């Protein structure tokens, strides 16, 4: 079913996990472009700062835990009470745990799934109640690990696989109903956010993200493009596409590559602090609004693959995918990811 999505400046957009990282970058970009926003997060102080930053009547905030159905219903109710309707719903909230699966406490596994998977389910099912009547966009945040698991973030990988399966199934059901709802799965590569700081850590050293690492503004631009243009999938960073293709076309080789590199690349130089704070079970107590962690100077400020793929015709997209597949092969052949930085 073909339908048009509204220009961003005419939209009411719900964003979960709106006070840091990709969610914060998306909220700020959308605000600059004139959208009305309903922003949700667990940290009420951070939300209050964000409301003050944006000012005016074009923002509403809700303290909510997306793993709780009643909280998600309150997000929708606040958006409707303030603006009267919802045009785009972005399920962005997410958490992670670093450590080998056998070492992680079961309650931490469950909490991760409550946020990453059930948070998306709760948000999506609440969103479509309202989007089906007027039309709009549902945008779910997956990951490059939606298609290819990595060690030391096994349950995070599992949750993002589950998000992909749920999102794909919901999309097909809505298409069968001919509902005017665009359903997009966004799959970012490593992004320079507070992801590692907020993650629970079972490793001896502090968590790190494998390169290449992309700017959160690139993810925000891709998400908001999908809010205006129906897209099935969006990869943020050519590295994400390369990892996906590598996992699909040469899974055994990717297993070996991941085993050989990911244990080292996901651990930093600093020893882990005993009883370090994180944001798994409770919100980050810090009140500073931060999009980026800024721990590395080598952050990709552009993503040519993503920029081209968003507007490309099928033939060009196939050529781009071929380039990403070649990069994935080179990544395995060289045992490093430098070949992906240009994508």
Return the active site residues.
Answer: 156
What is the rounded distance in angstroms from the CA atom of residue 299 to the CA atom of residue 77? Answer: 38
Give 98-101 contacts, CB < 8 A, sequence gap 24+.
98/152, 98/153, 98/196, 98/199, 98/200, 98/201, 98/202, 98/203, 98/207, 98/266, 99/152, 99/200, 99/201, 99/202, 99/203, 100/151, 100/152, 100/154, 100/202, 101/154, 101/155
What is the rounded distance in angstroms from the CA atom of residue 157 to the CA atom of residue 22? Answer: 18
Sign of CA dihedral 263, 266, 267, 272: negative
Interstrand relation of 267-271 and 205-207 (parallel, antiparallel or unpaired): antiparallel
What is the rounded distance in angstroms from the CA atom of residue 57 to the CA atom of residue 59? Answer: 6
What is the rounded distance in angstroms from the CA atom of residue 191 to the CA atom of residue 198? Answer: 13
Length of the chain, please? 343
Interstrand relation of 136-141 and 299-300 (parallel, antiparallel or unpaired): unpaired
CB atoms within 10 A of CB 53: 12
| Diameter of the chain measured on Cα atoms | 56
Q: Cβ(28)–Cβ(299) under 8 Å?
A: no
| CB-count burial class (<10 Å; 0-12, 13-18, 19+) for 12 | buried
End-to-end CA distance of the chain: 32
Q: Report which of 248, 242, 249 is spatially closest to residue 211, judged by C-alpha positions.
A: 242
């Amino acid at each position: 079913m073909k339908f048009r999505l509204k220009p961003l400046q005419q939209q009411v957009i719900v964003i979960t996990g709106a006070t840091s990282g990709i969610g914060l970058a998306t909220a700020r970009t959308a605000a600059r472009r004139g959208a009305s926003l309903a922003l949700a997060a667990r940290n009420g102080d951070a939300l209050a700062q964000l409301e003050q930053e944006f000012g005016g009547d074009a923002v509403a905030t809700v303290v909510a835990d997306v793993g709780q159905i009643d909280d998600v219903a309150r997000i929708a109710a606040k958006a409707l009470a303030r603006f009267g309707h919802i045009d785009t719903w972005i399920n962005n909230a997410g958490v992670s745990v670093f450590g080998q699966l056998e070492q992680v406490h079961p309650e931490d596994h469950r909490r991760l799934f409550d946020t990453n998977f059930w948070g998306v389910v709760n948000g999506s099912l609440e969103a479509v109640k309202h989007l089906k009547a007027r039309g709009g966009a549902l945008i779910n945040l997956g990951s490059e690990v939606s298609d290819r698991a990595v060690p030391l973030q096994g349950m995070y990988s599992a949750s993002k696989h589950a998000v992909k399966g749920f999102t794909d199934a919901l999309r097909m059901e809505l298409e069968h109903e001919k509902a005017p709802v665009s359903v997009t799965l966004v799959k970012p590569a490593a992004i320079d956010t507070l992801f590692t700081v907020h993650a629970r850590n079972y490793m001896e050293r502090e968590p790190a993200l494998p390169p290449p690492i992309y700017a959160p503004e690139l993810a925000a631009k891709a998400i908001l493009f999908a809010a205006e243009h129906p897209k099935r999938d969006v990869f943020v960073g050519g590295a994400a596409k390369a990892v996906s293709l590598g996992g699909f076309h040469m899974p055994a080789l990717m297993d070996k590559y991941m085993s050989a590199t990911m244990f080292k690349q996901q651990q930093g130089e600093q020893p882990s602090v005993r009883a370090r704070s994180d944001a798994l079970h409770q919100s980050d107590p810090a009140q500073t609004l931060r999009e980026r962690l800024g721990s590395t100077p080598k952050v990709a400020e552009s993503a040519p693959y993503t920029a081209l793929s968003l507007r490309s015709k099928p033939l060009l997209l196939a050529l781009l995918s071929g380039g990403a597949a070649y990069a994935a092969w080179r990544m395995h052949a060289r045992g490093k990811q430098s070949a992906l930085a240009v994508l």
